[in-house]
Amino acid sequence: MQNLKIALVGLGKIAQLMHLPILKIMNNVSITAIADSNKSRLESMAKELGLDTYYQDYSKLLESEEIDAVFITTPTNTHKEIASAFIKKNIPTFIEKPIAISYKETNEIVELAKIHKVPVMVGMNMRYRPDVMLLKSIINSGDIGEIFYIKCGWLSSQSSDSKWFTSKEQAGGGVIFDLGIVILDLALWYLDFPMIDSVTTKNFFLNTKTVEDSSVSMIRCKSEAIISIETSWSIKSEKDSFYIDIFGTKGSASLNPLKIYKKDLNQYIDISANSNENRTLEYKKSFKNELKHFIGAVRKYNPVLSTAENALSRMKIIEAMYLSASRKEEIKL
């Protein structure tokens, strides 16, 4: 099988820790081009990858290289411009979350991808964690009945210490764009992307100025299901806390760790499978599974799972969350 020629635009923390190491050892894949505005970082990574040619300007890469797919891991405010350039060249595109800085920009990417019939996948690696995927299959089986309430949260340090990460203009938002978008995606995915009735959000700026570092939301679905979300970079706990509690008419389930309780007469029976999976290993596996899925979509082996269209519906809710926080009122969608 001929190797896919892969380009990577943006060589920050997530690219260095996850994307590059995974792609380097993936079968039938070759990293043939990289671009980054930071010259010293670019030269260092080019040397490590054995590349003689590299680019500070992604447009020069686009002009000079023949590639089969691109991974975009740059600051959020650059996503639309860079993705659009590659989509117009009919190059399958992977965009690390969030897809763009606004609903408007996201819609422009979606429409452009439709015109050019190019697969666009958005980085939502948590969907690809083994326990997360198992829980999805349990929900789909109907074992815990119809879901009426999802309570989820993520209390952690911010994913990047780069300056742009806490800039409203460059990042688009704070902890909602960093952690909230991930658990919102999982909650919507578990509910098969329901229509949303309303959103109520309260944001806090405990240690930040232009972006929120803590946030609490209540999302009401047209189906009458409710999603409760809490996220924070500032609330201290003994360790990073990522959890999802799901309540159905026939039982309940939760992460982390994976637990499943099924109602039998008037009792709840624990039907959880024993899992000794290391949390760090699960996190790495999520990226490996995600990148393999995208490469499979490029080769037309499988459809894209985390689509740009999914991202559009998420972004509509996120903008409603910010509007609710600023107006201090419930926002109807």
Q: Global pTM?
A: 0.93
* 140 inside domain: yes
15, 145: one domain: no
102, 208: one domain: no
153, 139: one domain: yes
b/e 79-116 (16+ beta carbons within 10 angstroms → b): bbebbbbbbeeebbbbbbbbbbbbbebbbebbebbeee
Structural domain of 245: 126-278+313-332
* 226 inside domain: yes
* 283 inside domain: no
* Tally of structural domains, the chain: 2
Residue 122 neighbours by CB under 8 Å, 6+ apart: 94, 95, 96, 97, 98, 99, 306, 307, 308, 310, 311
297, 322: one domain: no
118, 134: one domain: no
* 34 inside domain: yes
101, 139: one domain: no
For residue 323, how far is the Cα from the chain centroid? 22
174, 227: one domain: yes
Question: In this structure, what DSSP letter does residue 329 have?
Answer: S
14, 116: one domain: yes
Residue 67 is part of a domain; what is its CATH number?
A: 3.40.50.720
The H or E element spanning position 189 is: helix 181-190
217, 106: one domain: no
Question: In this structure, what DSSP letter does residue 74 have?
Answer: S
CB-based contact 127:204 (threshold 8 Å):
no
Tens of pLDDT along the chain (333 residues)?
789 999 999 999 999 999 999 999 999 999 999 999 999 999 999 999 999 999 999 999 999 999 999 999 999 999 999 999 999 999 999 999 999 999 999 999 999 999 999 999 999 999 999 999 999 999 999 999 999 999 999 999 888 888 999 999 999 999 999 999 999 999 999 999 999 999 999 999 999 999 999 999 999 999 999 999 999 999 876 667 899 999 999 999 999 889 999 987 777 788 776 666 677 788 899 999 999 999 999 999 999 999 999 999 999 999 999 999 999 999 999
173, 147: one domain: yes
> By C-alpha distance, which of 135, 320, 158 is closest to 246?
135
24, 152: one domain: no
Question: In this structure, what DSSP letter does residue 37 have?
Answer: S
Residue 185 is part of a domain; what is its CATH number?
A: 3.30.360.10
* 206 inside domain: yes
Residue 213 neighbours by CB under 8 Å, 6+ apart: 158, 174, 175, 204, 205, 206, 207, 232, 233, 234
208, 259: one domain: yes
* 132 inside domain: yes
